[in-house]
Structure 1
Amino acid sequence: MHITLPLILLLSVSSSVMAQSDTEQPPPVPTQQVTVAGSRDPDWKPYRKMLDGIDAFDHYHSLAPQAQLKFILRPQQPRLTASDLKLRIVGDTVNIEVPIAADLTFSVPRDESAAKDDADLRLSTKKGLFRWRPDIHTAGIPVGTRRLGDLRLECEVRWAVDKFDASLIKLAYLVPLGGVCHTSRSRVFYSSDAPITGATLVSGSRRERLPAERLDAKDRARYAPPLHDQSWPDDTLVEFEFAMPNDATAADTVKN
């Protein structure tokens, strides 16, 4: 994956070829490749859908047992100010302020009255200026890396919130595969803190560089780790190779 909250899944289908074994190469078999990106029309989500994300975090918490669930706002234009932003859970009978921290992170509280009131999360700005993402980080991870289990848990939260916004056709394709977080036919893109030139999976002595198709050629701060591949344990680190700081084009990239 991946706040109205802006996280409708955009699923684009392309052709790919899969080999059935290392030694035998049968004729190419067409399969579908699903790419998960941010919404181009980001509206804030109903509060009940955010609760689905919280439930998913609790269910899959073993992926990152030492981490807490936070969300983060990502500005979609350069030099946007967030100092006066206000986030609230608003319904007919409820009006609950959700504090936004200095680093633009926030936590969504559980509130039974807001769920019954069919409330919404509302941000005090025009639509499309900020998007949200789950922001899950295990403490003690080295700078310039991400932990794979944290990314897997972020995906579960995103999928839980957004899956009911996907079309029936897309759901019919994705659900039997376990959703976007559990299939080799999906690529869930994440944003790094700065533009990157590459990324490497590291688990003990095993190292493997992400292939080019798992790096976004247009947005150099985006990458798609193999969430589905259980040969990489949750404690696997994704090590980034950051672009040179004088690369102005990459530095001005707006992250999703």
Structure 2
Amino acid sequence: MPDASDADGLTVGQVSARLDVTVRALHHWDEIGLARPSLRTAAGYRLYTAGDLERLHRIVVYREVGLGLDRIRAVLDDSTADVPGALRAQRSQVAERIDRLQRLSAGLDRMIDAHERGLLLTVEQQAAIFGPRWDPDWTAQARQRYGDTTQWRQYAERSASRGPEEWQAVADAMAGLERALGDALDAGVTPGSPEADHLVERHREVFASYFPLTRQMQVCLGRMFVEDPGFAAHYDSIRPGLAVWFRRIIDASARAHGIDPDTATWR
């Protein structure tokens, strides 16, 4: 490599600034033989000629469109290389990435909406799935009350991935459980019995469609089923006295697992 004065070429720093490429990248490309400076100063510093700069510019362009360094070397050094073909293949890969990113963006939009709205269903869809007694304002009220809790975030993340069919399956599972609870009360199933404990476990499984429900949390829900007028009216409309009986079988199951229902907290 011939020597040259500083006036005969550009230094690594000057090329870095002109092409917006790091000095580290230029050194790496030099080391692997992709873009070596043609000149050096008497002191041994690299100098890039106009021809070197043109090659570097092409490298930057090809790298910007996503070609790897090995592919760039082939495009630059192989006279038989199909440059348009390589660029078309890269364009196809870019289009696939754009499609993935667009799907990701749509998923993020749904996640944001779910955190802010809860149910991603129209009012008409909610009525069709949850029944005529369903109040669309309940979800907004729940967010206002519980929006800063872990359980609301878990609920929102599940909601973001659900459409009407998935919510219909959730509603059907809950309706099936409530029918089974009413039938068990009619049959005289006693708290603490295997039949009652099975229903308590089934309730936890079905409720997990909203968020994971610990036994402690289930006890707290049992209290609310009795103390909250809305919940009490709902369960007692299925069978008179169902709200109290439901709480009793939850409490009995909790005791069997070493939990005192009188001191259980939401955790």
TM-score bracket, normalised by the shorter chain, equals under 0.3
Larger gyration radius, structure 1 or structure 2: 2
Tell which has more relative contact order, 1 or 2 (C-alpha 8 A, sep 6+): 1
- Higher helix proportion (structure 1 or 2): 2
Higher strand share: 1
* TM-score calculated relative to the size of structure 1: 0.20
TM-score by length of 2: 0.20
